[in-house]
Chain A
Amino acid sequence: YQQAKAGQQLSGIVSYLNETDHRRVQPQPVSARPTVVDINDLASLVEIYKLRAAILVGMAAKSIQQELQHRKNQADAWNNSAIDLVKASDAHCHYVVVKLFTDKLGEIGDTAVHSVVSSLALLYALHGITVNSGDFLQAGLLSVPQVLQISVRIKELLSQLRPNAVALVDSFDIHNKKLNSVLGRYDGNVYENMFEWARRSPLNATEVHESFYKYLKPLRSKL
């Protein structure tokens, strides 16, 4: 952020700190910011994740500056801004994950697979916005009506994905033995196997556990 602020050209994933001119990354009153986001377009969602990260990085850096202006030393200024710094990193990582997911779609040739994985990617991006809607709203990246629109869109995606849910987990191709779960076994025969598993519990090695003879029975004679 400091290098970008000093006009240095950054390389790699953080180069977005160059792209956004600092006026735009200032938190703006919502009314002042034209928000043209197509919530069905992953590329534009990646864009607002990027702006959110840039804004949060900027806010963390500002917090450090303010602390330094109170004559704090660098280390204390850093520690007093740690919450903002963690939040900025989290936003940066979130942006990277959304971006990589979106990029990956470009590599998927099969149309049916592309369609279902695109729905997953869109759900991932929209759900992330819902969970962090405060950031996006505060930064003026989205309007309240758009956040509501996203909630509706998420519900549509849930029903859209519903028919493929089992096939999508089957695609992980986790062998039954590796999954090691009665509830998740491939054939879905859960209850009969759960009963059989329970019967193998060491506690069931005898019909009457020895503690009955050692404690419960003697207890009766004393009462």
Chain B
Amino acid sequence: VIGRIRHDEL
């Protein structure tokens, strides 16, 4: 999943 990533990490 390269590209726009949902930032679900801290």
- Please say whether chains A and B are actual partners in one complex: no
Using a CB–CB distance below 8 Å, which chain B residues touch chain A?
none
